[in-house]
Amino acid sequence: MDKLMIMWIAAIVVFIVIEAATVGLTSIWFAVGALAALVAEIFGAEFWVQMVCFLIVSIVALIATKPLAKKVNASYQPTNADMIIGMEGFVKEKIDNTAGTGAVSVGGKMWTARASDDEKTYDEGEKVAVIRIEGVKLIVTAAGAPAPAEENKEEQE
């Protein structure tokens, strides 16, 4: 086996591994292009011909599968956690950022929670609204209250 054949086989493997490791279609076109270049190498084509094959086949594969790529990437569904932003729930354990305590029930599930304002506390039974998620904690504010200015600013960006 010569060095160019090994290079094209390695390229195919690398592009397929990258594709397998990512969520959407990102590098499969280059794997197809590298396969075409490998075929050109097997038939004894010069390196510049192999590169032209790689580029042309990669571009054609990209153009041909672009509608499929859009469909795959457009099928993103928010996670269950994303869907609770904006929902309201009830405090089940007093929320006190200073003490590091707090739990709320939202959508029938228990979550650890913190107040959006470090100075604010919420007592058990109070109604709160989820404004964002940080790690595994819900950041909440009083139900019906507008989101604090810094959250509004982040949403606009």
Together in a domain, 66 and 116:
no
What is the predicted pLDDT for the residue at 66?
78
pLDDT digits (tens, 9 = 90+) for 13-63: 999 999 888 867 778 899 999 999 999 999 999 999 999 999 999 999 988
| β-strand pairing of 109-115 with 101-106 | antiparallel
The dihedral sign for the CA sequence 9, 12, 18, 21 = negative
Query: Taking the model in full, what pTM does it have?
Result: 0.47
> Of 74, 100, 135, which residue constitutes the final position of a domain?
74
> Of 47, 74, 101, which residue constitutes the final position of a domain?
74
Together in a domain, 9 and 28:
yes
155 lies in some domain? no
Q: Half-sphere exposure of 127 toward its Cβ, with a 13 Å CA cutoff?
A: 6
What is the predicted pLDDT for the residue at 19?
87
What is the predicted pLDDT for the residue at 107?
84
Together in a domain, 70 and 10:
yes
pLDDT digits (tens, 9 = 90+) for 75-126: 555 566 678 888 999 999 999 999 989 999 998 889 999 999 888 999 999 9
Please choose, from the candidates 75, 59, 62, the residue with its C-alpha nearest in 3D space to the C-alpha of residue 23.
75
Structural domain span for residue 124: 80-143
CB 15 within 8 A of CB 36: no
